[in-house]
Amino acid sequence: MRDVAIVGVGMTKWGELWEKALRDIYVETALLAMDDAGVDHIDSMYIGCMSSGLFVGQEHLASQLSDYLGVNPVPATRVESACASGGAALRTGFLDVASGMSDIVLVSGVEKMNDVSGGDATYALGTAADQEYECYNGITFPGLYAMMARAYMERYGMTREQLAHVAVKNHENGSKNPLAQFPMKVTVEQVMNSVMVAEPLRILDCSPITDGAAALILCPLEMAKKMGKHTPVKIAGSGHATGSIAYHGRDDLTTLEAVGRSGEMAYKMAGVGPGDIDAVEVHDCFTIAEILVIEALGLVEKGEGKSAAESGKTALGGPIPVNPSGGLKSKGHPVGATGVAQVVELTKQLWGECGERQVKGAKRVMAQNMGGSGGSSVVHILEVA
Amino acid sequence: MRDVAIVGVGMTKWGELWEKALRDIYVETALLAMDDAGVDHIDSMYIGCMSSGLFVGQEHLASQLSDYLGVNPVPATRVESACASGGAALRTGFLDVASGMSDIVLVSGVEKMNDVSGGDATYALGTAADQEYECYNGITFPGLYAMMARAYMERYGMTREQLAHVAVKNHENGSKNPLAQFPMKVTVEQVMNSVMVAEPLRILDCSPITDGAAALILCPLEMAKKMGKHTPVKIAGSGHATGSIAYHGRDDLTTLEAVGRSGEMAYKMAGVGPGDIDAVEVHDCFTIAEILVIEALGLVEKGEGKSAAESGKTALGGPIPVNPSGGLKSKGHPVGATGVAQVVELTKQLWGECGERQVKGAKRVMAQNMGGSGGSSVVHILEVA
């Protein structure tokens, strides 16, 4: 298996992009990444997208987007794993380069969620859960994560304020990210008094509905070393795991098993452990998710995640910075794009290009991208090569 | 890159499967393939599916299906390229084994098209075209292929009867396939007098709406040689290409450029040409499609595809049998499953397990799977190892 590196990244400001179509935001970020890498062609492309069918009435993005980017006939493939689609697309692109089939591969994530062509966004997002057994019986995504929060509060004595500290930290980081959808700072009081969505989760515990895209250029590490523009970032570990899609199918209601398994695979492949990681981007679709994920990845002990944001442990200057980009919470969460955007952020962290939100001296970083209520998870570990 | 082999296949009868859910038909065929290969575990899985979101209100199949198959936490990935989703899933699974990441990989295709949860099947299938520029302006899929048929008739003098001969041949082959949805034979007169769908295409020129799944087990060729149950079938060539998603974007209205490109890639990788192929399964979603595809693949000269079925050239006992399984026309076309089912058929042909529809002495065969009106195409060449 060939070693694989990231040599270019592209991302634009996320938000409610009413004036742009999915194909527009895709092409913008893809061209930024190609420019950043200094490449004038690609050998293949992968697109992470959760539900362009339900959101904008368009499947077959592989053909549409290779066409609009002007690169057909290159092989193009769309990869879907709900909100982990971006991470899964990166893993698939990684395998393409690792196998020797392709040299220069464009990996993108994209989602247009605001202009829903039929139905509504809640229904579309429900397709990430076991729709027939969960959502058709009345639960929504905030409801699923609210049950996790309640179960965790019950077992580990987490306070409502501790949840709020996750949002406060991520908005603090996001305020330093010019591409974030909601770059305003928030206080614990604002979170605690924001509109209730699904008890105990309030609107400021939830990631938003976002239009956005992000892109990466991969190539063999040996080729990357000769390209010279950026220090190559090696994909040192790639882990991917599945678990019960339905929340009621889990052995333990406060453990995200697929996250733990995907982390173990990535650590093993990279030959490192949780203590060797300098910064992480995790899938904080809700404040409780960040807490459960950092526990599952072994970054904090089980039951200790609740105080990580409150104590400053996961703050930008803390021992293990979590979501320096602002996370899904502040940066936004165009579902299929998130996993790629996490890696855009971390690559820029390794290049020292993050300005005010730079994690000083970051040499090895990790991205964790989750599908649904934890039914799938993808983890990548990146190192300065 | 490691050599990759197919060592097990699974498929059940296709049709209107009202009593079974998508997850049921997926699991049935996956278990058949695992049994056929004699394996008790898999290292990863890929699922080709076009639009489970629009058809059955469920995305995140990777998690749901690994869960219902009882194999989580294995990595699972859904791949989508409209009606070429199955072929794209096979290519992705191939890269996974070729790279050295996984040894035993389950590749499936599945689609449940009859019980549409919202909208209608015509709208869902329109997402394979450029929905905003084509279908929202009134065209349907039969309409797109009808324009191809008209353009081809105009340029090459094809008769309406010649189109009908494609359907007659494929139903003749399908009558020998116990898993086909429509295994009845049809006559030229029946095709010519069947209900008009989009002039000149009539209902018996069109592939049906189908529920169905199909599955394959891949592993490294070296491992396959030691498994002993079946003669390993080597994936000798894999080609994948994109073209203009919209029909109006093509340079030539009677040429499927992406099909030609994907064929060239596969021939080159396998080190063979059109004359070295003993049997093919091609994407005959409409009768005209088979004619254009066999020309694009170089199996007949440009403009000569029109008479290939009529003259018996592509019949079961002819010089180049096309669609021995009955093709999409007779076997059925559950869009995401088709590309995998083509390879199930061809693998069984190489194993000599096809009974009445066996192509005698088949040693090297080819599958061509198309997305939309030709916006993407995947070709695989298989050989007895």
* Confidence at residue B120, expressed as pLDDT on a 0 to 100 scale: 86
In this structure, are residues A343 and A90 in contact, taking their beta carbons and an 8 Å threshold? Answer: yes
Q: Taking CA atoms, what residue in B is nearest to A90?
A: B77
Q: B117 to chain A nearest CA, in Å? A: 11
Q: Is the pLDDT of residue A120 over 90?
A: no
List CB contacts (< 8 A) between B72 and chain A: 241-244, 258
In this structure, are residues A309 and A315 in contact, taking their beta carbons and an 8 Å threshold? Answer: yes
In this structure, are residues B82 and B118 in contact, taking their beta carbons and an 8 Å threshold? Answer: no
> What does the pLDDT look like over A68-102, one tens digit per residue?
999 999 999 999 999 999 999 999 999 999 999 99
In this structure, are residues A283 and A128 in contact, taking their beta carbons and an 8 Å threshold? Answer: no
CB of B376 less than 8 A from some CB of A: yes
CB of A261 less than 8 A from some CB of B: yes
CB contact under 8 A, A372 and B261: no
List CB contacts (< 8 A) between A52 and chain B: 127
CB of A54 less than 8 A from some CB of B: yes
CB contact under 8 A, A60 and B82: yes
CB of B122 less than 8 A from some CB of A: no
* Confidence at residue B118, expressed as pLDDT on a 0 to 100 scale: 65
Residues 24-53 of B with CB under 8 A from A: 44, 50-53
* Confidence at residue B228, expressed as pLDDT on a 0 to 100 scale: 77
Q: What does the alpha-carbon distance between residue B8 and residue B2 come to, in Å, rounded to a whole number?
A: 18
Tokens, residue A267? 């650590």
Pairing of strands B233-242, B4-11: antiparallel
CB of B353 less than 8 A from some CB of A: no
Sign of dihedral through CA atoms A350, A356, A357, A360?
positive
CB of B1 less than 8 A from some CB of A: yes
| Residue pLDDT tens, chain B, 385 long | 999 999 999 999 999 999 999 999 999 999 999 999 999 999 999 999 999 999 999 999 999 999 999 999 999 999 999 999 999 999 999 999 999 999 999 999 999 999 887 668 999 999 999 999 999 999 999 999 999 999 999 999 999 999 999 999 999 999 999 999 999 999 999 999 999 999 999 999 999 999 999 999 999 999 999 997 899 999 999 999 999 999 999 999 999 999 999 999 999 999 999 999 999 999 999 999 999 999 999 999 999 999 999 999 999 999 999 999 999 999 999 999 999 999 999 999 999 999 999 999 999 999 999 999 999 999 999 999 9
Q: What does the alpha-carbon distance between residue B227 and residue B373 come to, in Å, rounded to a whole number?
A: 40
List CB contacts (< 8 A) between A118 and chain B: 118-119
Q: Taking CA atoms, what residue in A is nearest to B62?
A: A81
Tokens, residue A206? 């939830």
CB of B240 less than 8 A from some CB of A: yes
- In this prediction the ipTM stands at 0.97
Sign of dihedral through CA atoms B243, B328, B93, B299?
negative
CB contact under 8 A, B51 and A53: yes
Taking residues A233-256, what's their average pLDDT? 97
Spatial CA neighbour of A89 closest among A336, A284, A325: A336
Positions of A marked active-site: 83, 333
Collapsed DSSP state (helix, strand, coil) of residue B158: coil
Q: Taking CA atoms, what residue in B is nearest to A375?
A: B63
Of B72, B79, B123, the CB nearest to A77: B79
In this structure, are residues B265 and B238 in contact, taking their beta carbons and an 8 Å threshold? Answer: yes
Burial of B124 (0-12, 13-18, 19+ CB in 10 A): buried
* Confidence at residue B21, expressed as pLDDT on a 0 to 100 scale: 97
CB contact under 8 A, B62 and A81: yes
Q: Is the pLDDT of residue A28 over 70?
A: yes
Taking residues A30-56, what's their average pLDDT? 97
Residues 56-75 of A with CB under 8 A from B: 56-64, 66-67, 72-75
CB contact under 8 A, A82 and B96: no
Q: Is the pLDDT of residue A200 over 80?
A: yes
CB contact under 8 A, B59 and A82: yes
> What does the pLDDT look like over B105-136, one tens digit per residue?
999 999 999 988 766 899 999 999 999 999 99
Q: What angle do CA A26, B256, A68 make, to 5 degrees?
A: 15
Q: Tokens 């190559």 belong to which residue?
A: A232
Pairing of strands B201-202, B196-198: antiparallel
Tokens, residue A331? 């940066």
Q: How confident is the model at residue A61 (pLDDT cuts 50, 70, 90)?
A: very high
* Confidence at residue B316, expressed as pLDDT on a 0 to 100 scale: 97
Share the mean pLDDT of chain A: 97
Q: What angle do CA A325, A330, A331 make, to 5 degrees?
A: 55
* Confidence at residue A220, expressed as pLDDT on a 0 to 100 scale: 98
